[in-house]
Amino acid sequence: MITVVSVQDAINTVENIIGARSVRIISVDGVDGSGKSYLAKFLSHSSKYSYIDIDGEYLIPNNGKFIEFINYKKLKSDINCFLASGYILVIDGICATKILKNIGLEADVKIYIKKTIAGEWRDGKLFCYSRKIGDVIDERRKMLQESEIDEANIEGRVPEIFSFSEENMKDEILRYHFEYHLNP
């Protein structure tokens, strides 16, 4: 694992890797809001690579889940077209590694974005990987319920009681990022 602190450092690192070996696919992964799309677009533009945005172009919206609602057929077809043309391809997505695996592909270079603010992880202890994922999901669900109670009290209504009988999209994404960190 290589740690870089700026976009330019990331691009220089990728360029050095590409210069040392054959690369066809670069994946840029990370949680929403981490800066992965910014880096992927910047890398694509500055290095003249092709670019695919999984989250923006291939996600079938409004299903409450993520990985199972990707248009895999179109994604695989588009990737194969780029690769057949000999282009280096930058693929950006929240769960890019797993999505590529689901279509039988693997990135030659994997970039995982984790953002810091003032020296602290932007996502705080949510992505503290020494914790158990079940505890993190339970904590997030409890915070959601407490937030709903607070909002209902302010608005003078009865709070909605959430049912967490099924894992939702955010839980699915949390679980993926914990698995990714433990098994990159």
Sorted by where each begins, the domain ranges of the chain are 7-121, 124-180
Splitting the chain (184 residues) into consecutive groups of 10 residues, what average pLDDT does each group show?
A: 68 77 86 82 89 92 81 96 91 91 91 68 60 75 80 86 63 68 57
| Confidence (pLDDT) at 165 | 54
| Confidence (pLDDT) at 41 | 93
Class of domain 7-121: alpha beta
| Confidence (pLDDT) at 164 | 60
| Confidence (pLDDT) at 73 | 96
| Confidence (pLDDT) at 126 | 60
| Confidence (pLDDT) at 53 | 95
DSSP secondary structure string for all residues of the chain: ----SSHHHHHHHHHHHHHHS---EEEEEE-TTSSHHHHHHHHHHHHT-EEEEHHHHTB--SSS-SGGGB-HHHHHHHHHHHHHTT--EEEE-TTHHHHHHHTT---SEEEEE--EETTEETTGGGG-TTS-HHHHHHHHHHHHHHHHHHHHHHHTSPPPPPP-SS--HHHHHHHHHHHHHH--
| Confidence (pLDDT) at 117 | 60
* Helix-helix angle 169-182:133-155, to 10 degrees: 150
Report residue 60 as tokens. Answer: 């079938």
